[in-house]
């Protein structure tokens, strides 16, 4: 296809064309001229984007039903968005990860930051989980999967259709294996620990690669320590700390299947005798531990996104403050507290302030010793703050 065969969409005069030229990848619905022709385009249609003066700016994927009505794919309006184009983007992403990691277990594609808007792909050796969270990627899913297999050699691909992002795009929740077959959870070695990732039925893609570097930092603090890992999922911080020499770890999560995988990972890593698990609401468990006078040398709280949108920001900050208030009293004097946020709607300073308030309200004082972010397999697009969603604060209490 060429720019002569594609539909054309146009920015309104007051749209921020300069930001888009400088790399901002989204066009919001109030920035685009939406006439009858544009409004009738099928979700995921590739179109040429013009500024208000009719100067071509690039190729975009259009979804008239989304607040993000257009996503920038390619500056060259003569490019063809097909399997070869997808393969080239995936190959460039893989080349970066191959320089960072000895084994193919990482986030392979991090959406806009890797030039594939709305697309997340996590690799698990010979398997991969893809989240096509934008309409264009759902429409080109067959080509996307074929390109992924061609470039990486993976033989199993799982489509994960859960999550808020697909709902905002008007997409279904049909998660399934789209290529090959799965044979149970996949073992993943990170930071000396073994994790078991449920690619078909687990949270997100089955494992949170973004915390890899923060797991390693926590493990350095935890040698010989008693560790509490709250919102542990499959044992993220707890198993890393045990692998790093922690004396014991208690993993707390609301999901029984996740804790089953944590125990299985501990057994695979030969640390099962030092791991305890407790299923329950994290806030309730923190309160119970406080009433019981329990204490730990290292406490880590890694909750789900309390503020997934701007409208939830204030409530999310109150929740983060509450976590800090309940967790801080459980830390031994001179021990360490790690607090994490994966809410893109909460900036680092606001999260830091909420955490500090919570620690103070918990009757403790603390030094901030380290600020962590997602690993380098989760690159940030400088123009898009949402790609820098993860924050991890480590305090000495």
**Quick check: 90 and 78 in contact, CB under 8 A?**
no
The CA distance from 353 to 241, in Å, is 27
The residues that bridge with 388 in the sheet, in sequence order, are: none
Buried-state track 69-98, b at ≥16 Cβ within 10 A, e below 16: bbbbbbeebebebebebbbebbeebbeebe
Interior angle at CA 34, CA 29 and CA 38, nearest 5? 115
Bridging pattern class, strands 68-74 and 56-62? antiparallel
Residue 342 annotated as catalytic: yes
Identify the DSSP state of 32: B
The CA distance from 350 to 341, in Å, is 11
First-last CA distance in the chain: 60
The CA distance from 209 to 110, in Å, is 11
DSSP conformation letters of 350-388: HHHHHHHHHHHHTT---EEEEEE---TTS---TT-GGGG
Q: Which residue is it, tokens 């691909």?
A: 157
Q: Would residue 235 be called left, alpha or beta, if left means φ above 0 and alpha means ψ between -120 and 50 degrees? A: left
The CA distance from 274 to 310, in Å, is 41
Q: Would you tell me the crossing angle of helices 236-243 and 256-268 to the nearest 10 degrees?
A: 20
From 149, 241, 340, 342, the catalytic residue: 342
The CA distance from 309 to 323, in Å, is 19
DSSP conformation letters of 43-90: TTEEEEEE-TT--EEEEEEE-TTSSEEEEEEES-TT---SHHHHHHHH
Q: Other C-beta atoms within 10 Å of 317: how many?
A: 23
Report the catalytic residues.
342
């Amino acid at each position: 296809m060429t720019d002569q065969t594609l539909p054309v969409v146009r920015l309104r005069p007051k749209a921020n064309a300069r930001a888009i030229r400088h790399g901002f990848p989204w066009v919001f619905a109030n920035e685009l001229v939406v006439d009858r022709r544009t409004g009738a385009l099928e979700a995921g249609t590739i179109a040429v984007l013009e500024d208000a003066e009719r100067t071509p700016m690039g190729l975009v994927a259009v979804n008239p039903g989304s607040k993000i009505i257009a996503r920038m794919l390619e500056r060259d309006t003569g490019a063809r968005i097909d399997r070869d184009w997808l393969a080239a983007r995936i190959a460039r992403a893989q080349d970066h990860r191959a320089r960072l990691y000895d084994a193919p277990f990482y986030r392979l594609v991090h959406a806009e930051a890797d030039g594939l808007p709305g697309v997340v792909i996590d690799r698990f050796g010979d398997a991969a989980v893809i989240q096509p969270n934008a309409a264009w990627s759902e429409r080109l899913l067959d080509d996307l999967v074929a390109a992924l297999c061609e470039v990486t050699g993976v033989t199993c691909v799982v489509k994960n259709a859960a999550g808020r992002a697909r709902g905002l795009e008007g997409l279904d929740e049909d998660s399934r294996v789209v290529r090959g077959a799965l044979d149970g959870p996949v073992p993943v070695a990170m930071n000396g620990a073994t994790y078991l990732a449920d690619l078909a039925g687990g949270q997100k893609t089955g494992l949170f690669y973004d915390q890899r570097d923060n797991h390693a930092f926590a493990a350095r603090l935890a040698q010989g320590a008693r560790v509490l890992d709250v919102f542990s999922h499959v044992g993220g911080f707890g198993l890393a700390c045990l692998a790093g020499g922690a004396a014991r770890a208690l993993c707390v999560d609301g999901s029984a299947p996740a804790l089953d995988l944590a125990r299985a990972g501990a057994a695979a890593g030969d640390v099962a005798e030092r791991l305890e698990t407790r299923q329950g609401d994290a806030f309730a468990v923190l309160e119970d531990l406080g009433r019981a006078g329990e204490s730990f040398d290292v406490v880590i709280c890694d909750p789900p996104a309390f503020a997934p949108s701007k409208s939830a920001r204030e409530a999310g900050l109150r929740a983060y403050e509450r976590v800090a208030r309940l967790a801080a009293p459980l830390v031994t004097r001179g021990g360490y507290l790690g607090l994490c946020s994966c809410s893109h709607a909460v900036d680092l300073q606001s999260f830091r302030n909420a955490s500090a308030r919570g620690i103070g309200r918990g009757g403790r004082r603390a030094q901030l010793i380290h600020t962590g972010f997602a690993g380098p397999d989760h690159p940030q697009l400088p123009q898009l703050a949402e790609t820098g969603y993860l924050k991890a604060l480590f305090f000495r209490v």
